[in-house]
A = this chain, B = another copy of it.
């Protein structure tokens, strides 16, 4: 296992950072790494907003659900799907690209592009012994976050990435068994196999929480996931995405 793979498999989300700002060089390295990720047909359909202004960070934290690590970290990045620069590019070429930009396909391209870039940013940060935490919470009040960061049409914030020097370590969280995530040649939809794997995984997760909590918490994966999914959340997502000029057809 080489050094890079060691970094990857040792990932854990960090939710407590020292109040030490990233250096300009670290930020540069992280963005350069993000930009080096693959991008669909070279489209580069994302923008990264680095939020350092304390007032903005505090407002973001409150919109995202009040997590202290959105406010206190070394640097806060917001990854946005962005097809706006492609309109400018088309203007230079006097071409009409509106129908493409409004398609569901191109929105997916932008979301995937932004996510590949973000994961490179995360890996770069962790390789420099920084900790990271993705913040999906910015989608709790997405329109307000978009307004706060002044994102225009065809630019949609997707998630945040808090980066900084960890002030507390966390344990590695065991993932689903590999045979559950990885299928060979065909999708294996054998319900008895699924159920067995999920029951076994529930045991693993229950042990993990029990050990981590000193015996006070015993929770399973299916329990946790079912409770989370029992109430649908963020039902304004489709409306916000289409109002931004995406996914019209």
Q: Which residues of A contact B (CB under 8 A)?
A: 1-5, 7-11, 13, 28-29, 31-38, 40-44, 46-53, 56, 80, 84-86, 88-93, 95-97, 99-101, 103-106, 108-109, 111-112, 115-116, 118-120, 122-124, 127-128, 132-134, 136, 139, 149-152, 155, 158-159, 173, 175-176, 178, 180-187, 189, 191, 194-195, 198-199, 202, 221-235, 237-238, 241, 247, 249
Contacts and interface: CB of A to CB of B under 8 A. Distances in A.
Contacts of A92: 195, 198-199, 202, 222, 226
Contacts of A235: 103, 105, 249
Given A185-B51, A187-B150, A90 B229 contact: yes
- What DSSP secondary structure best describes chain A's contact surface? helix
Contacts of A227: 93, 95
18 contacts: A2-B3, A8-B33, A31-B181, A42-B221, A44-B181, A48-B181, A53-B185, A56-B185, A89-B198, A92-B195, A96-B230, A104-B238, A104-B241, A105-B233, A109-B136, A115-B116, A116-B122, A238-B247
Contacts of A119: 37-38, 115-116, 119-120, 123
B89 A185 contact: no
Contact of A31 (B53, B100, B182, B199): B182
Contacts of A56: 185-186
Contacts of A34: 181
B173 A42 contact: yes
Given A3-B3, A11-B37, A226 B93 contact: yes
Contacts of A134: 38, 40, 116
Contacts of A185: 49-53, 56, 149
B52 A38 contact: no
